[in-house]
Amino acid sequence: MGKDKLRRFAEIENFANVYQLEEAKTLKGNWSKDHFKNENPVVLELACGKGEYTVNLAKLFPAKNFIGIDYKGNRIWRGAKTALEEGINNVAFLRIQIENLLDYFDLHEIDEIWITFPDPQPQDSREKKRLTFPAFLNKYKEVLSPGGKVNLKTDNDQLYTYTCEVVATLGLKVHKNTNHLYTSDLVDDVLSIKTYYEKKYLLNDKNINYIQFSFD
């Protein structure tokens, strides 16, 4: 691991808005009350990377709490540091493996989930690692409040198609769906948020896929 990554790992140990692994389990069921000190809804961004979506969503919705989740601490560092520097208090970051989600959030604790440009895990042998694989969706269903929505935004056409097929097979309710977001009428302030990688994709004229669905 490079010196810069080691420095960032060391720094997030002392960030008030970052929780890691075992220490975060004590917040299960009480994120709003114990960390955010309010009773506002909680929104997750899974595989948040540098936290660009998490931070920008928090700016747009100050009456909601946002938690970015990723396992790579050197990535989380960027979003967490930005939130601290800009005084964005409705943001937190959680460094865990997403498959362990149920160890950190209680039944119906989450209002909404965002999955923005995740690793598409294109090999068939890695299907179970895709964040819209049914086993992951079952976890999301547990932590989401009734009517809570899942949003997937991806440049990867294969992951988008796969997700649409899973959603259809499970009989889930689709609220919004497009395979070319920026030529659709769905674009708003939220969907206009662009990560570093999305900007690169758009420069190469790559279409962006988006689907929003819920379990009831």
β-bridge partners, 150: 113, 213
Run means of pLDDT, 10 residues per run, the chain, 216 residues: 80 94 95 97 97 97 98 94 98 97 98 97 97 98 98 98 98 98 97 93 95 97
User: Is residue 75 classed as helix, strand or coil in its secondary structure?
Assistant: helix
Which pair of tokens denotes residue 23?
Answer: 């220490």
Per-residue model confidence (pLDDT) at position 79: 96
Per-residue model confidence (pLDDT) at position 7: 86
Which pair of tokens denotes residue 33?
Answer: 């009350």
Burial class (CB in 10 A: 0-12, 13-18, 19+), 203: exposed
Per-residue model confidence (pLDDT) at position 3: 76
Per-residue model confidence (pLDDT) at position 1: 57
**Would you please indicate which residues are annotated as catalytic (active-site) residues?**
119
CA 15 to chain centre: 20
Q: Identify the CATH assignment for 40-214 out of 3.40.50.300, 3.40.50.2300, 3.50.50.60, 3.40.50.150.
A: 3.40.50.150
